[in-house]
Amino acid sequence: MSETNTLVELNNVSVSFGKNDKKKTVLNGISFAIHRGEIVGLAGESGSGKSTIAKAILGMVPVESGSITLNTKAPQMVFQDPYSSLNPAKTIGWIMQEPLKLAPKRDPEALRPDAATRKARVAEMLKEVGLDESYMIHKPGELSGGQRQRICIGTALMTEPELLIADEPVSALDVTIQAQVLSLMQELHKKKNLAMLFISHDLRTMYHFCDRILILNGGHIIEEGTPDDLYRNPKEEYTKLLLKSAGIAKA
Ligand SMILES: Nc1ncnc2c1ncn2[C@@H]1O[C@H](COP(=O)(O)OP(=O)(O)OP(=O)(O)O)[C@@H](O)[C@H]1O
Ligand SMILES: [Mg+2]
């Protein structure tokens, strides 16, 4: 794969929190890349540093050493909890227009779309995430969890990012709704050649969803591979343990 196909590259990234004797190193020499159109899964137990990797890529936590090279416009993020990630006081139309108002500040070359254009793009995006434009006038509190997560995904895609970081995007949803939201994400991935960092602790979901999976443990990526490689022939004990606890028997 050529260099230009690399959207983001982490090179020996370490992140610590706290100072002196309270210092805790959460990520220790993390290296991986995400290429155009690729879905990379990131798995590991709670507290292993998955969200910290997401935040480091987005510049929300400082990197202590190593480097993160972004080769694309700002990646967008979808969070686990669709209840707390939408402003309850605003309408869906307002929320989804917001990224279009903010984007030109970061990119002075880009023209800020006018109100009518923004509204039309929101209507279009609502359709793309499987909702109709009547949702524009509703507030988040009037929507189900699955509908809210569709709004979060749509909002994240308003600026047409090439890379989406999805941190446990379906973990807070009922199982049937999980499948619907995942299939929407798969559809958008194909349609837009959207690359994703898909963070999850559910190795079953990841098997079908991801092109490549990274296993994070103790601040390191201890193993990585295609789902077939990893699930059929896990090399590390920790990976075997994760597979076992997900109820995936070794083939
Ligand atoms: N801002 C912070 N200040 C101090 N410690 C932090 C901060 N953010 C994260 N940590 C610590 O870093 C470790 C990794 O946290 P992180 O949220 O990345 O884990 P995670 O793998 O996403 O877990 P989960 O699966 O529960 O979401 C945890 O021990 C956490 O307490
Ligand atoms: Mg997390």
Dump pLDDT digits (tens) for 146-170: 999 999 999 999 999 999 999 999 9
Phi/psi of residue 213, each to 5°?
A: -125, 135
Residue from 17, 50, 14 nearest 29 by CA: 14
Under 8 Å between Cβ of 242 and 251: no
**21-65 per-position pLDDT tens digit:** 999 999 999 999 999 999 999 999 999 999 999 999 999 999 999
CA count, 13 A, side-chain hemisphere, 90: 12
- Kindly give the number of the ligand 1 atom that is closest to the alpha carbon of 80: 27
CB 180 within 8 A of CB 192: no
Q: What's phi and psi for 30, nearest 5 deg?
A: -90, 125
- Centre of ligand 1 from the C-alpha of residue 49, in Å: 5
Distance CA 243, CA 240 (A): 5
Q: In this model, does residue 229 exceed pLDDT 50?
A: yes
> Percent of the chain beyond pLDDT 90?
87
Q: Which two tokens stand for residue 166?
A: 């999805």
Closest ligand, as measured to the CA of 45: 1
Q: Which of 23, 30, 42, 48 to mutate to test the pocket of ligand 1 (most atoms within 8 A of CB)?
A: 48
How close is the Cα of 216 to the center of ligand 1, in Å? 13
Neighbours of 48 (CB within 10 A): 21
CA–centroid distance, residue 49 to ligand 2 (Å): 7
Q: Is the pLDDT of residue 2 over 60?
A: no
Which range (69-83, 104-118, 154-168) has the least confidence? Answer: 104-118
Q: Which of 13, 22, 52 for mutating ligand 1's site (highest number of atoms within 8 Å of CB)?
A: 52
User: Cα torsion at 129, 134, 137, 143 (round to 10°)?
Assistant: -60
* Per-residue pLDDT at 84: 87
Ligand with smallest separation from the Cα of 53: 1
Match 């070794």 to its residue by tokens.
Answer: 250
- Determine if residue 32 is left, alpha or beta; phi over 0 gives left, psi from -120 to 50 gives alpha, anything else beta: beta
Residue-by-residue DSSP string for 180-214: HHHHHHHHHHHHHT-EEEEE-S-HHHHHHH-SEEE
User: Could you tell me whether strands 212-217 and 39-43 are parallel, antiparallel, or unpaired per DSSP bridges?
Assistant: parallel
Strands 163-167 and 195-199: parallel
Q: What is the pLDDT of residue 44?
A: 94
| Average pLDDT along the chain | 93
Contacts of 117 (CB under 8 A, 6+ apart): none
Ligand 1 proximity of 52 Cβ (cutoff 6 Å)? yes
